[in-house]
Amino acid sequence: MARPKNQAGRRAQLVQAAKQAIAKRGLNGLRTIDVAAHSELGAGSVAYYYPDLGDLVREVHEDAVSRFYWNRREQGSADEPPATRLARIIRSGIPRSRDDVDFQVLNELHIHAYRDTFHAGLMAEMYRLEVSLYVAVLNEGVDAGVFTLALPVDTAASNLVAMEDAYGLHFMGGTPLDVDDIFRMIIANAEVLTGCRLVETTMAQ
């Protein structure tokens, strides 16, 4: 039997369909029929490309981490001042809404990581990448003379990642905070860490 054409494209489609399925029903008990419901392909095609549904979930996690990191890395222009870029990076780490699929999926997989070394490794890598984003912009601000850090740069970067993760988790869980509330609270902490006023620089987003 001839192999279907455009396998890479169909696998990418199934990865996005699996994200939708995980966001809707969670990871536990995920079935091929759930993935197919969010795809133009049937359950047979899902099973053809991913006989082991765990392989699809692993690709979903890799895709989510990559998209999340690269979307954040592309925030702002290299010509923008560090204060503006820092504010944009903070904003990019906050869910846009409770329907944000990538955040829903990452939260589900974060829980799954407790029981799976592959997913735990990806979560650790995502944390390292997020910290690296903050380290880079904080160092740029120090070098430009606009940031005076109250903590070592690695500690400040780690604290910012921890705050966005914690607030994001509570927000997705239904805590009565909105996106702008979370942004203002993280910005307030970032201003203390950097000794630099950041709020006004975000208005041009």
- Dump pLDDT digits (tens) for 2-50: 455 578 888 989 999 999 998 888 888 789 999 999 988 888 888 999 9
Cα 91 to Cα 85: distance, rounded to the nearest angstrom: 10
Q: Can you give the pLDDT at residue 116? A: 79
Provide CB contacts within 8 A for 163, sequence distance 6+.
185, 186, 189
pLDDT tens-digit profile of 71-90? 888 876 667 899 999 999 99
For the chain, the average pLDDT equals 86
Q: Can you give the pLDDT at residue 122? A: 86
Provide CB contacts within 8 A for 162, sequence distance 6+.
none
State the virtual CA torsion across 171, 174, 179, 183 in degrees, nearest 10. Answer: -40
Q: Can you give the pLDDT at residue 100? A: 83
Cα 39 to Cα 43: distance, rounded to the nearest angstrom: 9
Locus of tokens 């592959």: 118
Q: Can you give the pLDDT at residue 105? A: 85
Q: Kindly state the average pLDDT of the residues 99-118.
A: 82
Residue 160 contacts residue 90 (beta carbons within 8 Å): yes
More confident residue, 190 or 65: 190
Q: Can you give the pLDDT at residue 95? A: 86
Q: Can you give the pLDDT at residue 98? A: 82
Cα 186 to Cα 163: distance, rounded to the nearest angstrom: 7
Q: Can you give the pLDDT at residue 1? A: 41
Measuring CA to CA, which residue among 121, 146, 133 is closest to residue 196?
A: 146
